[in-house]
Amino acid sequence: MEMTLDGMEIRVLGCLIEKELSTPEYYPLTINALVNACNQKSNRFPVTTMDDSDVVGAINTLRHRQLALLSAEGGRAPKYRHTLMEMLRLTPAELAIISELLLRGPQTIGELRSRTERMHAFSDMAAVEETLQELMGRAQPLVGLLPRMPGHKEQRYAHLFAGQPESCRDVHPEPDSTAKTDALPPSERIRALENEVGSLRAEVAELRRMVEEFKGQFE
């Protein structure tokens, strides 16, 4: 995309899309509702502590860029909504994918299918992949494919609302990571293995967090 959003603007935009699809009865959102949505502990990465001034600043920038507007609906408190459906002609399936990527960062096809369930029910993994390909195939792509992380079998997809990530690239098979590591000098091989361990630890931490979220639904 030509426009580049910062972290707070991305979080606010993602929340507007999410709440429209998951809880339409409470949409559009007031500033107070947006603050609560931005700072949710579930379905967010990273977890933030944004305040009213942060959200107001972000929503004003989104309005200036015509990505959000003040709702015409009545009420004491002003309410806001996003304009992506009109501006970019997006389907509910595409909006759900974009919202999830805005709220939680790069994800695999499997993660996207399970995590978008509250917004849009994809029939299978192929349906998710087809939607991602449509978002990537636009004249101005909204999504990019990241290289496979060390120790991971699946590649992740990222939104492009914050600009083009350095690691986004064209789709090509990723060489085997073990072969690449073995070809390195000893010092670089150790560094590569340390990075792989760090990635695996991050993956374990994410899985633990997902388990806690799941358990919390039954408490």
DSSP string, 12-75: HHHHHHHHHHH-GGG-SB-HHHHHHHHT-SSS-SS-----HHHHHHHHHHHHHTTSEEE----S
Answer yes or no: is pLDDT of 34 > 90: yes
Answer yes or no: is pLDDT of 52 > 80: yes
Share of the chain above pLDDT 70, in %: 75
Predicted confidence band at 73 (pLDDT cuts at 50, 70, 90)?
Answer: low
CB half-sphere exposure, 9, CA atoms < 13 A: 18
The CATH number, out of the four listed (2.70.170.10, 1.10.10.10, 3.30.460.40, 1.10.3680.10), of the domain defined by the range 7-88: 1.10.10.10
Domain boundaries, given as residue ranges, for the chain: 7-88, 175-219
pLDDT at 204: 73
pLDDT at 181: 44
Predicted confidence band at 100 (pLDDT cuts at 50, 70, 90)?
Answer: very high
pLDDT at 193: 65
| Pairing, β 143-145 against β 157-159 | antiparallel
pTM of the model: 0.75
